[in-house]
Amino acid sequence: MRGIEVESDSRGPRWLAPRDEGPLPRSQRRIRLDHMRSHSRHTVVAFLALLGIVLSSAPAAAQPIPTPPDRYGSAAAAAFEAFPSGADVAVLASGENFPDALVAAPLAAFYDAPILLTQRASLPAVTAAALVELGVADVIVMGGRDTVSFEISNALELNYQVSRVAGDDRYGTAAQAARDAFPAGAGIAVLASGENFPDALAAAPLAAFYDAPILLTGRTFIPPVTAAALADLGIADVIVLGGPAAVSLEVSNALELNYQVSRVTGTDRYGTAAQAALDAFPAGATVAALASGENFPDALATAPLAAFYDAPILLTGRSSIPPVTAAALADLGVADIIVLGGPDAVSIAVTNALELDYQVTRVAGGSGATRTVQVFFANTSLGAECSDVFPVPRTVDAAAPLRPTLEALLTGPTPAEQALGYGGWFSSATEGMLNDVSIESRVAYADFDDLRPVIPNASTSCGAAGMLSQLESTATQFDTVDDAHYSLVGSGVEFSEWLQMTPPS
């Protein structure tokens, strides 16, 4: 019988009981997207697009408990979506680094378990609540004490059967997870970089297709623990994910001395994910999961959700869809897209563009509730003074509305709004140039990329008045904000000097 030993304590070692039944066959899982809602919205979006009007937010998946708009909330939201009837086992991995969560995909599949995320030293409240809501009995902790502390696992043991899958480092943890998920060995292994996240993220569906573990390698060397795992598992074929910049030719050449080696790659991370999707789904796919190719946090828990929908994982930029991703969606015959993460990870502009051709659902942390806000643009047909600005509506997440509202402002008016005379300093050229946003003591702080090369004429007295009026009117509409301060790449002085203002005290 297979089991995983927990940390030894005064009670002696305990074992996590093996799961005899295994995961549900995919054929028994049903697509739970609300097609009536999605189809209706899809039709409306397409019709309004003909008029140049774009809606502001893809529908969000329903959540049984409130979730914060962060990586931990997104992981919980993905778990609820993939396990509507709950789960006996959950895999708990670090939300602060990518390797352990990504290589956990085959182990999570073995136990039919969601992947939830934690900080190293404290268990996020939403993760604790999700374990309860899902009805979890057994928790598998990924990684050693430097990744997930003993304080967390000890606290969990008060309510759960807890085990730990760990090695000396990320490569060792991946090797141990592979052994635990494949006790009888495996014919094929997927090998991805342990130094960067994108290829390992897109590896999960390919590993599922080949019933293969995911192991990690350095770019220029094969860790001894990885080499040992390949031998112990009885691997015959190794699929290398990514090009030579991710996993060098020296590594693949060395592997060819003992294994049949193939490489799945594209010109970049987006192309590699696209090729992995096409290889894993030769007959196409109805649903695709879309995650950020720029930052890992919201994407960490994607694999079980992709498995639930029998979907490939494709990658996108935050503010634009790479052509290779768009081509893969078309080639696969995808109808439904599940976007992982909030607008900070995958922007509203991306979901709006996708909704012209697909039914789109966003699975992300956040309340799930939305609210209508206003963004302010100039309109010379309504007022000719430099500081005259006029509101247009946008729909944003109700839990944390300031950031998406400012992002909507920087995106500029829609084509339909432009036809009505709305304009100002912000447009598609400034989209995505918002960095940090916070509210402290009723003052909003917003930091931007260097806007000066994009809108150099804003430094005129009239231009400065117009820009500040747009920003102030948009940022201070909220009950929690009385004033706003702005900076360029972290410098309030640079912003003030640009617009010929007195820097705030």
3-state secondary structure (DSSP) of residue 459: helix
CA dist 137 and 17 (Å) reads 11
Looking at per-residue pLDDT, the higher value among 316 and 365 belongs to 316
In this prediction, residue 16 carries a pLDDT of: 35
pLDDT at 107: 94
Pair of tokens at residue 138: 């057994």
On the question of pLDDT at 72 being above 90, the answer is yes
Q: What is the mean pLDDT of the chain?
A: 85
Determine which of 52-66, 93-107, 190-204, 467-481 has the lowest per-residue pLDDT on average: 52-66
Phi and psi at residue 163, in whole multiples of 5°?
-130, 165
Task: Report pLDDT for 371.
Answer: 75
Confidence of residue 64 (pLDDT cuts 50, 70, 90): confident
Whether the Cβ atoms of residue 387 and residue 83 lie closer than 8 Å to each other: no
Structure confidence at residue 432 (pLDDT): 87
Angle at 422 between CA 420 and CA 424, to 5 degrees: 160
Is residue 347 scored above 70 in pLDDT?
Answer: yes
pLDDT tens digits for range 401-410 = 899 899 999 9
For residues 28-54, give the mean pLDDT.
Answer: 39
Q: Percentage of residues in the chain with pLDDT exceeding 70?
A: 86
Region 61-68: mean pLDDT is 72
Q: Residue 44 — very low, low, confident or very high, per pLDDT cuts 50/70/90?
A: very low
pLDDT tens across 266-293, in order? 999 999 999 999 999 999 999 999 999 9
List CB contacts of 456: < 8 A, sequence separation 6 or more: none
Q: Identify the weakest region by mean pLDDT among 32-36, 185-189, 237-241.
A: 32-36
Q: What's the gap between Cα 69 and its chain centre?
A: 11
pLDDT in the model for residue 47: 41
Q: Is the pLDDT higher at 9 or at 474?
A: 474
Element (H, E) at 470: helix 461-475
Say what the pLDDT of residue 13 is: 29
The beta-strand segments (E) located in 95-187 are 115-118, 138-142, 161-165
Tell me the mean pLDDT in the region 331-359: 90
Among the residue ranges 69-83, 192-206, 251-265, 306-320, the one predicted with the least confidence is 192-206
- pLDDT, residue 501, reads 79
DSSP string across 331-356: HHT--EEEEES-TTTS-HHHHHHHTT
Contacts of 154 (CB under 8 A, 6+ apart): none
Q: How does residue 14 score in pLDDT terms, banded at 50, 70 and 90?
A: very low
pLDDT digits (tens, 9 = 90+) for 480-502: 899 999 999 999 999 999 988 77
Query: Which comes out higher in pLDDT, residue 29 or 208?
Result: 208
Q: Please tell me whether residue 211 adopts helix, strand or coil conformation.
A: coil
Instruction: Give me the amino acid identity at 153.
Output: S
Cβ pair 345, 300 in contact under 8 A: no
Amino acid in position 213: P
* % of the chain exceeding 90 in pLDDT: 65
Which residue is associated with the tokens 């502009």? Answer: 349
State how far the Cα of 411 lies from the Cα of 46, in Å rounded to an integer. 20
Mean pLDDT of 122-150: 95
Name which of 131, 98, 61 is nearest 303 in CA terms: 98
- What pLDDT is attached to residue 35? 36
Amino acid at 353: A
Q: Write down the residue that tokens 């895999």 correspond to.
A: 91
- Mean pLDDT computed over 44-52: 42
Q: Is the pTM of this model over 0.85?
A: no
Ranking 127-131, 340-344, 395-399 by mean pLDDT, the lowest is: 395-399
Assigned token pair, 244: 């030579």
- Separation between Cα atoms, residue 459 and residue 465, nearest integer Å: 9
> Exposure of 31 by Cβ count < 10 A (0-12 exposed, 13-18 middle, 19+ buried)?
middle
So what's the pLDDT on residue 31?
A: 35
